[in-house]
Structure 1
Amino acid sequence: MRFTSTPRGARLARRLVSHRLHAWGHPYASPANETVTLITAELTANAVRHGHVPGRDVGLRLTQTGGALRVEVTDTRAEKLPNRGTPCPVGESGRGLLLVDVLADTWGVAPRQSTPGKTVWAELRLPAPGATA
C-alpha cells in the first residue's frame, strides 16, 4: 500500500498493520501484533522524517510467510540511509532504530530495484504452533 509521506500517513500505516495482523490471527494485544506494529511505527516515522520527498508516497508491505512476519517500508531517498550508530545519550530523538534492532529478529536496508529510493525491512519470527514462550 501507499501512504502520504506525512505523520498522518505514518499513523495510518501503523493502524493498517495492526488491523491486518488481527485479521491474520494475531489479536491486537498479542506480542506479535504489538511488536510488528511498533516496528512499523518506527520505520514509517523514519521514512516520513528522513526519506520525505514532496509529492512522493511511502510504500508499505506486510507479509506472513512460514514462521515469520515481515514489514517493508519504502521511500524515495536512497542517499539517506538509516544510522545504525549509538544515539546521543541526552538527545531527544534517534532511538527508533535501536528499538527496531532489539525487537526484530533481523532487519536491513535494500535499494529499490526500478526507481530511486530504498526499502527498510524487518522480520519477526513467530513461535512454532503450540510452543510456549
Structure 2
Amino acid sequence: MADHVPARHRSVLDAVAEDTERLQEAIRTRTVTATSTDGRITVAVSADGTVHDWRITGADDHTTRLVASLLELIGQAQGTAQKSIRIELDAIDDREEVRAATDAVRDALARAVPPTTSAQCDDTWDYDYESRGKSRIAAD
C-alpha cells in the first residue's frame, strides 16, 4: 500500500508517535514510592504496575524470599496478561474494516488542501467602504 500522507501531515503524525513513545516510556520507568503508615514497608512502583524496589524493615530471610517470589510471579502474570491484550489488539488491527478506515483517513488527509496565504486579508482594506454596507470584493 502506498503512503498517501502528505509531508505536512506526516510531521504531525511523527510528533504524535514520538509523544506516545515518550509517554509509554514514562509509564514503564517513572516510579513513585509508597510507605506503610508504620514505616516498615516501602515499595517503588511504576504506572504500569511494575515493582522496581521494595523493602521490609526487620524482615527475616524467609519473608524476604517469599516477597521476592511473590513479586516475580506477579510480574510473570502481568506479562502474560499484556501479551494476551496485544494479541487481541493485533487481531483488531488486522480486520478489513479497520484497514479500510485507516486507508480512508490517509486518503482524506492526502486530499486536504492547506489554506493559501493569497486569500488572507492585507492592510489595504477600505474600512470606510465596508462601513457603508458594501463589500470590498464588490468594490474591486
Could you tell me the TM-score, scaled by structure 1's length?
A: 0.22
Normalized per residue, the structure richer in strand is 1
Could you tell me the TM-score, scaled by structure 2's length?
A: 0.21
Give the greater-gyration-radius structure (CA). 2
Normalized per residue, the structure richer in helix is 2
